[in-house]
Structure 1
Amino acid sequence: MPELPEVETVRRGLAPAMEGSRLERLELRRADLRFPFPANFAGQTETHDILALGRRAKYLLIDLDNGKTIIAHLGMSGSYRVENDTATTTPGDFHIPRGQLSQHDHVIFHLSRNGERCRVIYNDPRRFGFMKLVERAALEDDPSFFSLGPEPTGNTLDADFLASRFAGKTQAIKSALLDQRNIAGLGNIYVCEALWRARLSPFRAAGHLVTAKGKPAAGLQRLVPAIRNVIAEAIDAGGSTLRDHRKTDGTLGYFQHAFSVYDRTGTACRHQDCNGTITRAVQSGRSTFYCPACQKG
């Protein structure tokens, strides 16, 4: 599933085409994706201007001038294409390649701005994505959001906040970081990378990173900037991809070349003072990549 940097890359790629445009027609080529589309979805959104394109965790937010917001999730295989009469672009760089076959084009936003027209096409072979429509004023009360933790890029995330969430927990720190109630938008790739940077064992109990007085221990103090930095670097690089997906400017996202542990089983640890080897394990059904020599904290 795309992680926060990939979704942010998609948002940035779509914004020039969508923000300030009028949604002339919303073409729905089926009745549902993962869930049925909202009742009268097209009727509630057509002929309205798109004020802004935002993101919360792994969700895209399309704000309309009628006070409503389209919440869109990419699921496992969703992607967008921007088409006009002369070009086609696919915003976002993904670890798993995205589809292009027209039979999987399920939603088409027909847009116009200053006499120019384009189409934003949502393609989803596995149909695990979804779209729903909510009142912007009630966005944080929506079930998708009301239990989400702070963004890893926001000022709310700090070591004291995580200490309050982790105190007394026997849950492994990696699992705690993947819990969206603690931090919104973190996924498997970037959790593995952040734990390596902070030299923390993914198997260590989250509560062990909190002192008896409820304060963040040294490892937790290292972890917060590690999370912030790895997410910021991935966003700057345009998301992660191991294949040939392209951003709107035609360049590849190269953060995957900076992976220090993810999918690097059997290679040397990149910490200069470590002679360890990257190892793969399975935690809660997911692959964990780490260096057992230096991730002991």
Structure 2
Amino acid sequence: MPELPEVEVSRLGIQPYLEQHIIQSVKVHNGKLRWPVPEEVQLLEGEKVLAVKRRAKYLLIESKHGTAILHLGMSGNLRVVDSKEPLKKHDHVEIILASGKSLRLNDPRRFGAFLWQGAGEDHSVFEKLGPEPLTELFTAEYLFEKSRGKKQPIKQFVMDNHVVVGVGNIYANESLFKAGIHPKKEAGKISLKRYQLLTPIIKETLSAAIKQGGTTLKDFAQSDGKPGYFAQELLVYGRKGEPCVSCETPLKEIRLGQRSTVYCSKCQR
């Protein structure tokens, strides 16, 4: 599943083709996604796209009447194509623009979503979401207070969308390694001082991934629309058994919350 940096780069990729452009029509070829596509999405027709934003892993296409909410799920992708280009298999929803371009949501497994939020409303998918990690609301003091009394392993704690959104498996692995924190350590037993080390590392790790993805995104309309994972120098993720970049101890792998967790038993305490 794409993580926050990949979704943010998708936003940056589609933004120039949608923002301040008029939507000619919305076509739903298969409305049976994770949730049924609501009829209200037709309210976008004839409207100007005011902004393309992101909340957690959701993309928001805003208009005067409301906002289309897109989620890529496990296998979804977005493509910007000429509107006359033939549909591909699994192209479920498309936004056709007056410019002659179309934004198409392709999702083979149909775990993605195309939802609607009326102007001035708050959709239920955003209820109880924690702060965005790249904002001033996400601080060491916030994490410290939120973690008090928590026996949950720190890796699962920072991956909990109720705590903070968008810190997925790859970036949790990498951030904890850089901070020298063992992924199984109880969140409630981590000091404020260590959270003051971890929090900026999470921000830096996510920001670097977004920047790297942005530099490789030459023309979103020419790509296959798949966010993928950017070619990065990953320090621990996917490197089970390989030497630690700091101490050369073979990296270990465990499962936490059914997710692969790679760490250095010497550097992370």
SS, match of residue 23 in structure 2 = strand
Describe the SS at the equivalent of 1:161: helix
Q: Does 1:15 align with 2:1?
A: no
RMSD: 2.4
- TM superposition outliers: structure 1 runs of 4+ over 6 Å: 249-254
Alignment partner, residue 171 of structure 1: 152
* TM value normalised by structure 2: 0.92
What's the offset of the Cα at 1:85? 7.4
Aligned pair in 2 of structure 1 residues 8, 109: CA closer, same or farther (>3 Å)?
Answer: same
Q: 2:253 aligns with which of 277, 280, 291?
A: 280
SS at match of 2:53: strand
Q: SS in structure 2 opposite 1:288? A: strand
- Taking a change above 3 Å as real, the CA distance of residues 75 and 247 of structure 1, as seen in their structure-2 partners, is farther
Q: Which structure 1 residue ranges, 5 or more long, are not aligned?
A: 89-100, 211-215
What is the rounded CA distance, in whole Å, between the counterparts of 2:92 and 2:234 in structure 1? 34
Which residue is 1:236 aligned to? 211
Report the CA distance shift for 1:62/1:158 in structure 2 as closer, same or farther (over 3 A): same
* Residue aligning to 1:50: 49
Q: Contact (CA 8 Å) 2:81, 2:221: kept in 1 or not?
A: no
From the superposition, tell whether residues 118 and 107 of structure 1 become closer, same or farther in structure 2 (CA, over 3 Å). Answer: same
1:80 aligned partner: 78
Match among 239, 252, 257 for residue 264 of structure 1: 239
* Structure 1 residues 127 and 47, CA gap change in structure 2 (3 angstroms): same
The secondary structure found in structure 1 opposite 2:109 is coil
CA contact (8 A) 2:152 2:186 kept: yes
**Residue 121 of structure 2 corresponds to residue 138 of structure 1:** yes
1:220 and 1:247, CA in 2 relative to 1: closer, same or farther beyond 3 A? farther
Q: Is the 8 A contact 2:209 2:230 kept in 1?
A: yes
Once the two structures are superposed, what CA deviation does each residue of 1:131-181 show, in whole Å capped at 9, x if it has no partner?
Answer: 111124223xx2211211111100111110001110111110011111101
Q: Residue 63 of structure 2 corresponds to which residue in structure 1?
A: 64
- 1:236 partner letter: K
Q: 2: distance between equivalents of 1:255 and 1:13?
A: 14
Preserved CA contact (<8 Å) 1:246 1:253: no
User: Residue 220 of structure 1: which of 195, 198, 210 is its match?
Assistant: 195
Question: Is 1:162 matched up with 2:148?
Answer: no
Structure 2 residue identity aligned to 1:126: R
1:292 corresponds in structure 2 to 265
Give, as a single letter, the amino acid of the residue that structure 1 aligns with 2:264: C
Deviation (angstroms), 1:247 = 5.8
Distance 1:185 1:61 in 2: 15
Identity value in percent = 38
Report the Cα distance in structure 2 between the residues aligned to 1:144 and 1:181, rounded to whole angstroms. 12
The CA distance in 2 between the partners of 1:253 and 1:29, in whole Å, is 25
Of 86, 89, 99, the residue aligned with 1:103 is 89
Q: TM-score, normalised by structure 1?
A: 0.83
CA deviation profile, 1:188-234 (whole Å, cap 9, x unmatched): 11010110110100000001113xxxxx1x22111001100000000
Query: Is this contact kept in 2: 1:238–1:253, CA < 8 A?
Result: no
Q: Out of 246-255 and 143-152, give the one that drifted further.
A: 246-255
- Name the CA distance, whole Å, in 2 between partners of 1:219 and 1:136: 41
CA distance in 2, matches of 1:103, 1:197: 42
C-alpha distance in structure 1 between counterparts of 2:24 and 2:196, whole Å: 50
Partners of 2:198 and 2:6 lie apart in 1 by 21
Aligned partner letter, 2:159: L
SS of the aligned residue for 1:50 comes to coil
